[in-house]
Chains A and B, each alone.
Chain A
Amino acid sequence: MLVKRDLKPLAHIYLIEIIKGLAITMKNMLFARNVTIQYPEERRNYSERFRGMHYIKATNGVENCTACMLCPTVCPAECIHIEAGERPDKEKYPVKFEIDVLRCCFCGMCEEACPKDAIKLSTIYEMSQSKRTVFSKDYLLEQRGHK
């Protein structure tokens, strides 16, 4: 489609506009700050409320989780699988606690639902793995990062 554009009188010759453009690129090259970050060395600072990889909080080496099943119930992606077991000295505990991270949508509702402050979302966002890691209880209990 042909569109009639109202150009300034000399804009049709391009020359002046091109020189203006060249000045802009040169100004950007010489004086503008880089907007990129050098990733492995520099990290972007995310908010403390960032919802990244899950972990299970432990007190004195024992996980806080009591296998109350609130988090798999509330989970919209149905990615938490818990098998509950019993322990003589304490109440219920999770025999198996697995998160299917591929299904997880990082909504953080499990964290909100948890009455024991057990499942939490850390600020870690690098979740690629070089092998088939199961995000099992042992894996989640390890403290990576902070919150």
Chain B
Amino acid sequence: MDQIELIAMSAKIALVVVFLLQVVPIMVWVERRGSAWMQNRTGPNRVGPLGLLISLCDALKFFTKEDRTPGHVNKFYYTLAPIVAVAPSFITFAVIPFASSINIDGHVIQFQIANLNVGLLYILSVTSISVYGIIMAGWSSNNKYAMFGSLRSTAQMISYELSMGLSIVGIVMVFSSIELGQIATAQGATLLQLGPIAIPKWGVFVQPLGFLIFLTASFAETNRLPFDLPEGESEIVAGYHLEYGSMRMALFFMAEYINMTVASAFIATLYFGGWQLLPGMTFILNHLGLEGMGFEWARVAFELASFSLKMVFFLWFFVWVRWTIPRFRYDQLMDLGWKVMLPLALVNLFVTGFMIYSGVI
């Protein structure tokens, strides 16, 4: 690895880590302001412009609180749990391509931290580690409500990971790759040409049912409403992080929001063309009058922008859905997971297989 690649790699890692850390306070603000607007309130508007610094105050509060370990917990797992919860959320983003590659002095720099050829499997396996953090937190807290929360979380994750995995199989079949970079590249092809409008071969157009299943399952995987049973404030106090305080509690909080970010990025990559330019952006890019490296950098910037826009939309969608739908009852959740989503995912698989066999896709 020579100098340019080293610099590029450090820059990419720094970009992703800073971005993921910054997403948390901003999403907290978006969540609070968004919910306020939806409920005809104003929300936090005192600290800083539009109340943007409220998250900073929250962080400061978390830092200055006493970090107390209750006497009745299992200390080792109690301390380990927040770390196990937050670490997978960070490392998942490593395989997500946020722009296509650029050629600098003969070095092809890919905008993806790790170009794994098993990217999809990597994401699925790493996200399933984060459930261990929740189980450890609930179990080590030695508290019945915390344990209920973590048990619910386990059941929920196992039930929904099945349909999530099956819905992804559809994507793998269509694009015949489990490398995220290749999947994103393959989505640039044209699916249908309707006069001047070309419908791209985005995952959502070839796998609409798969997309719905994946979206629902990712809500369940990130423990967001309507599937936030592990927390269930009105039923089990605060769920698995009941015995936590100060920065440890904040780590669980961060894990939730970073998981959301990763899920949004994942949805954008698999179903909305990843870094493929949004409609109209290609036209603007070609009419900027740039050439050579200038054009290349502009292209990368546009790709970054369109990837971010797709991701931001889904981040917003998470918030939007949270403040629209109430929590599912536990048996309804299981019914939906096993009796509706799993059969639908299987049907989707068969239909996709048939369509590929008959050469439609």
- Name A residues whose Cβ lies closer than 8 Å to a Cβ of B: 15, 18, 21-22, 24-26, 28-29, 32-36, 38
Contact = CB atoms under 8 A, between A and B. Distances in A.
Interface stretch (B244-252, B267-275, B289-297, B320-328): B320-328
A36 B41 contact: yes
Contacts of A28: 37-40
Nearest to B331: A2
Contact of A25 (B41, B42, B212, B323): B323
Interface in B311-337: 320-321, 323-325
Contact of A36 (B34, B40, B320, B321): B40
Given A25-B323, A34-B42, 8 more contacts: A18-B321, A22-B320, A22-B321, A24-B324, A25-B320, A28-B40, A29-B34, A34-B41
- Pick the most buried of A21, A22, A25, A26: most chain B CB atoms within 10 A of its CB: A25
Nearest to A19: B324
Question: Which applies to chain A's interface (DSSP): helix, strand, loop or mixed?
Answer: helix
Contact of A29 (B38, B42, B45, B212): B38
Contacts of A15: 212
Contacts of A32: 40
A33 B40 contact: yes
B40 A35 contact: yes
A18 B321 CA distance: 8
B324 A18 contact: yes
27 contacts: A15-B212, A18-B321, A18-B324, A21-B324, A21-B325, A22-B320, A22-B324, A25-B320, A25-B323, A25-B324, A26-B38, A26-B320, A28-B37, A28-B38, A28-B39, A28-B40, A29-B34, A29-B37, A29-B38, A32-B40, A33-B40, A34-B40, A34-B41, A35-B40, A36-B40, A36-B41, A38-B45
Interface of B: 34, 37-42, 45, 212, 320-321, 323-325
A67 B34 CA distance: 58
B221 to A, nearest CB: 18
Contacts of B40: 28, 32-36
B105 to A, nearest CB: 48
A43 to B, nearest CB: 16
A66 B324 CA distance: 62
Contacts of B45: 38
A18 B324 CA distance: 8
Contacts of A24: 324
A19 to B, nearest CB: 10
A22 to B, nearest CB: 5
A62 B235 CA distance: 61
A28 B39 CA distance: 7
Contacts of B39: 28
Contacts of A29: 34, 37-38
Contacts of B37: 28-29
